[in-house]
Amino acid sequence: MTEPYFHVERFRKTFLLGLVAAISIAFVLMIRPFLTPLLLAAIFTGLSFPLQRRLTGLLGGRGALAAAITIALLLLVVVAPLLSFLGIVANQASEITQSIAPWLQARIAESTSGNLGDHLPLPDFLAPYETQIYAKLGEVTSMVGQFFFKTLTAATRGTASFLLALFVMLYAMFFFLRDGRNFLNQILYYVPLHTEDELRMVDKFVSVTRATLKGSLIIGILQGTLAGGAFLVAGIPAAAFWGTLMAMLSIIPGLGTALVWIPATGWLYLNDEVGAAVGLALWCLSVVGMVDNVVRPWVVGRDTQMSDLMIMLSTLGGLLFFGAPGLLVGPILAGLFVTVWEIYGEAFAAYLPEVNLNPVEAEDTKDESTTP
């Protein structure tokens, strides 16, 4: 009599799991346009929660009022100045996009007349393709300018999609701040992991978020300001745009800012400003590069516990997949990816073989085994 009952219960549980999965997938697909704002709301809630908790204590336990004040402070201190600055950057991006065509035509004319080779000689095997090379470089520069112009104007000119995403993020932040602990406890209740593993994932989420923001803000502001100021002194137009671009790329260790200032020195050299080109290169190599070598390990520290390669891949992958929010979301997903695999390794340690690959030791062992 117990066997049919067992099969019925197993069928019910299987059906229930399938129903939960199907409805959950349908719900996620329905709110897919708002997943990025919701994720950003969760990230900024975790970072601003200490302020929310302190305000709640000062206001006699009124969590809703504390959440509203926290969001208002975020808007006044962060969002409003940022949008104002991005408006300036967007205008400079538009100017770059419009001015690149005349400059490119002049460079191609010099290449055709043979004058460009006096400034920047190419190897002999590239000489027949000189015109095409500079044409492609101009196309790439124009595409970069158009990309940033469209991205930034979407945020600064108040498009409907941006305003809707901003509203969803702030609205979700209010409820996350007010009822965040209950939300988190309920989510963790349905996760079939040990409590210590759940807390470990939450800690990794918070630590990587904090480290990524510290790296993005402090290092980005330092490198963007130092390099952008040098661009301004060197006479490179749209210094605010290039400084912002380098601030965004600074999240890539060692390589980010160089993607901008190296072509900039080449541009100065092509315009017969050799002294400015040398000075800019020395400044960026020594002072701007010092931020990567000295400040980054101190600011980011051991919070992320990820290699530079993982940070670069997650940053670029996040940027391509999520857009601008991917600069923050990418490293967080990478941190959770590493943490999940660490939990897996600990849970199945009894079934996983120990591996210690050391070519030197392996060679020594092989020699000893063949010695008569």
Mean of the pLDDT values across residues 266-293? 81
Q: Per mean pLDDT, which range of 101-110, 257-266, 289-298, 355-364 is the poorest?
A: 101-110
**pLDDT value at 22 more than 90:** yes
Which two structure tokens, joined as six digits, stand for 22? 């199907």
pLDDT band at 337 (very low <50, low <70, confident <90, very high): confident
pLDDT of residue 115: 47
Residue type, 273: E
**pLDDT value at 341 more than 80:** yes
**pLDDT value at 222 more than 80:** yes
Mean of the pLDDT values across residues 40-45? 84
pLDDT of residue 27: 93
Helix axes 35-58, 195-214, angle to 10 degrees: 90
pLDDT of residue 363: 54
pLDDT of residue 323: 73
pLDDT of residue 246: 81
The mean pLDDT value of the chain amounts to 74
Are 119 and 272 within 8 A, CB to CB? yes
**pLDDT value at 280 more than 70:** yes
The closest alpha carbon to 63, from 153, 150, 179, belongs to 179
pLDDT of residue 119: 47
Bigger pLDDT: 161 or 74?
74
Bigger pLDDT: 26 or 329?
26
Q: Per mean pLDDT, which range of 50-64, 87-101, 298-312 is the poorest?
A: 87-101
pLDDT of residue 29: 92
* Alpha carbon distances (Å) from 303 to 46, 203, 299, 366: 16, 10, 9, 41
- Which range of 83-92, 209-218, 291-300 scores highest in mean pLDDT? It is 209-218
pLDDT of residue 113: 45
Helix axes 160-189, 35-58, angle to 10 degrees: 70
Which two structure tokens, joined as six digits, stand for 52? 């929310």
- Which range of 14-28, 52-66, 263-277 scores highest in mean pLDDT? It is 14-28
